A = this chain, B = another copy of it.
Amino acid sequence: MANHLKGNAVIGQSGGPTSVINQSLVGVVLELQKLGHVGKILGSKHGVRGIINDQYYDLTSAPAALLERVAKTPAAALGSTRDKPDPAYCDKIFANFKANNVRYFFYIGGNDSADTARIVDELAIKEGYELKTYHIPKTIDNDLRVHDHTPGYGSAARYVASAFLGDNFDNASLPGIKIDVVMGRHAGFLTAASALGRKTETDGPHLIYVPEAPVSEDQLLADVDRVYSKLGRCLIACSEGMSTPDGKTWTEGLVTNLERDSHGNIQLAGTGALADGLANLITKKLNNPGTGGGGKKLRVRGDTLGYPQRSFPGYTSEVDATEARLVGKVAAESSKLDGTASTSIAMRRKPGGTYAIETFLTPLSTVARETKHMPPEFIKDGNNVTQAFLDYARPLIGMLPEVGSLSEL
């Protein structure tokens, strides 16, 4: 493939927003502006949908001052999409690229986006059309294979760790049983981050349930009973995808019940379903638990941390923001070099005690489609995380706020 093609570049963003996805966008744009080897820099509106509809922002001369503000803004500045292109859709993408003389394609997203990039890339190779394709990682789920971790995870994990840090003090202040549901359908990395704010043995979350460690109703109730009986309170972190030993999600179980009971009149399809269902279950089944309940009505509350996990502004992890910018910049730099195309920009840790990363390029096929899960060595007793997880995740979220307790007196 010839170097320095004076063709145009397309950049797109896809999937669920993160707090730093625009850092990657701006990393690509500023570096392409600087290197000057591409013609127009086109930002597709709402990912692949903007490509097939020929809707682009022209970012060729976008001013740096605006871009720097955009970089600090959560959610996809170009717009995002949930479209998962089939081969016919990919044909349309490729047709637009040919019509616009697009020779560089940067796609920021998760494993599905990597797969879209891979399919379009293969179409180009098959037709002998010169196209250099780069996947730039983004997902708060942290579930991309090969990648040590993914941009977006650190900021979401920082938010989750902080929310639990605050809720632990809230729960100690007004004791009861509190359930907080965290994003993550298949991977528990974000839920596991709830543990990063703990300082003492009695700090919550006291129980952590991730999709990778199925838990039965009996086990969960026994866990809660034990913690509440000991501490007089219990803070619980649950992945939205937490699962049962028969391979179902807890949400399926709870929502199925509700649909059957409601005779189709009210569907509980909203995001608060799992937290509410768990709160109801615990209230009903544990109303007089162990020694802790003492016959008193339990105070059980459920929160679903919701979209602020992925789009709360002004509270990003600086490490995450820096790395998100870096992978965008590296993608743009790579696009000027031979032998770099058809890859995803990944990070790995440098050897040694201090946290530092280096980037490397990995073929699109190694990242596309299947996702990564929490390894067993990160999960403890089915309801907690290990020191290995804490060591892995702590450098990614930055310093947490300083706090103090009168128990230190």
Number of copies: 2
Nearest CB of chain B from residue A255's CB, rounded to whole Å: 10
Nearest neighbor of A163 in chain B, beta-carbon distance = B308
Most chain B CB within 10 A, of A58, A311, A402, is at A311
User: Is the beta-carbon distance between A70 and B406 smaller than 8 angstroms?
Assistant: yes
Alpha-carbon gap, A272 to B167, bound state (A): 17
Question: Which of the segments A168-176, A369-377, A381-389 contacts the partner chain?
Answer: A168-176
Evaluate whether A69 and B258 lie within 8 angstroms (CB atoms) in the complex, with A163-B312, A272-B271 already known.
Answer: no
User: Is the beta-carbon distance between A306 and B305 smaller than 8 angstroms?
Assistant: yes
Count how many chain A residues have C-beta atoms less than 8 Å from C-beta atoms of the other chain: 81
Nearest CB of chain B from residue A76's CB, rounded to whole Å: 4
Nearest neighbor of A401 in chain B, beta-carbon distance = B314
Alpha-carbon gap, A6 to B13, bound state (A): 68
Alpha-carbon gap, A275 to B277, bound state (A): 15
Evaluate whether A306 and B307 lie within 8 angstroms (CB atoms) in the complex, with A166-B74, A266-B261 already known.
Answer: no
Alpha-carbon gap, A79 to B172, bound state (A): 7
User: Is the beta-carbon distance between B311 and A166 smaller than 8 angstroms?
Assistant: yes
Q: Mark A266-289, 1 if CB is under 8 A from B, else 0.
A: 111111110111011001000000
User: Is the beta-carbon distance between A82 and B312 smaller than 8 angstroms?
Assistant: no
Most chain B CB within 10 A, of A72, A162, A310, is at A162
User: Is the beta-carbon distance between B169 and A311 smaller than 8 angstroms?
Assistant: yes
- Residues in chain B near residue A150, CB distance under 8 A: none
User: Is the beta-carbon distance between A404 and B306 smaller than 8 angstroms?
Assistant: no
Alpha-carbon gap, A69 to B407, bound state (A): 12
Alpha-carbon gap, A77 to B403, bound state (A): 10
Nearest CB of chain B from residue A170's CB, rounded to whole Å: 4
- Residues in chain B near residue A57, CB distance under 8 A: 406, 409
User: Is the beta-carbon distance between A266 and B270 smaller than 8 angstroms?
Assistant: no
Alpha-carbon gap, A263 to B262, bound state (A): 8
User: Is the beta-carbon distance between A307 and B79 smaller than 8 angstroms?
Assistant: no
User: Is the beta-carbon distance between A403 and B313 smaller than 8 angstroms?
Assistant: yes
Could you list 30 A-B pairs, sorted by A, with CB under 8 Å?
A57-B406, A62-B409, A66-B409, A69-B404, A70-B404, A73-B169, A74-B166, A75-B170, A75-B174, A76-B173, A78-B406, A162-B313, A162-B314, A167-B307, A170-B307, A180-B306, A261-B261, A262-B262, A267-B283, A268-B280, A269-B276, A269-B280, A270-B275, A271-B302, A272-B276, A303-B304, A304-B304, A305-B306, A314-B401, A315-B315
Query: Footprint of B on A, CB under 8 Å?
Result: 13, 16-17, 19, 43, 57-59, 62, 66-70, 72-82, 162-163, 165-167, 169-170, 172-174, 178, 180, 254, 257-258, 261-263, 265-273, 275-277, 279-280, 283, 301-308, 310-315, 400-406, 408-409
